[in-house]
Amino acid sequence: MLERTFCMIKPDGVARGLVDGIKQRIEKSGLKIVKSRDLTVSEEQARKLYAVHKEKPFYSGLVKLITSGPSHAIEIEGENAVSRLRKLMGATDPRQADPGTIRGDYKEDNIYTADGTMKNVIHGSDCTENAKHEAAIFF
């Protein structure tokens, strides 16, 4: 199925200069970048993006992290783009992410912020419905 998905290089990834390298990985995998832009995520956008996590103990830290500095939003198209991007990203916890994945290869020594939020460089949608919803927040 030809799909679109959405991802965002989070402030920790942008601050470390990983935007170009990550975009090259996405394109090298055969996925097409159809839109991309620099932005700093607002509180309101962060609350929309992370609405599903609002009851989680790490929610406020997550909003704080994603709004903490410049991010880079990307819309992607390709066959089975959602699952292919998730595979390319690797596991949520970078310590569990396989070598060769974005989160695995760009893992920091200390993966937690001061308030205990996990830094893992990139956000990626988990289904086409959420991809559409998330892309509409930022494009």
Active site (catalytic) residues: 123
Q: Which stretch binds ligand IDP (CB under 6 A): 21-29, 38-46, 113-121, 128-136?
A: 113-121
Per 3-state DSSP, what percentage of the chain is helix, strand, and coil (rounded to 5)? Answer: 45, 20, 35
CB of 9 to ligand IDP, least distance (A): 12
| Among 1-9, 33-41, 72-80, 110-118, the segment contacting ligand IDP (CB under 6 A) | 110-118
Contact code string over 47-76 relative to ligand IDP, x by CB under 6 A: ------x----x---x--------------
The whole-angstrom separation of Cα 131 and Cα 139 is 12
Please state, in angstroms and rounded to a whole number, the distance separating the CA atoms of residues 64 and 87: 26
Residues 7-46 that bind ligand IDP (CB under 6 A): none
CB 100, min distance to ligand IDP, A: 17
Q: Residue 36 Cβ, how far from ligand IDP at the closest point, in Å?
A: 19
Distance of CA 92 to the CA centre of its chain: 10
What kind and span of H or E run contains 111?
none
The angle formed by the CA atoms of residues 21, 138 and 59, to the nearest 5 degrees, is: 85
Q: Are 18 and 72 in contact (CB under 8 A)?
A: no
Which residue ranges make up the site for ligand IDP (CB under 6 A)? 53, 58, 62, 92, 116-118, 120, 123, 126
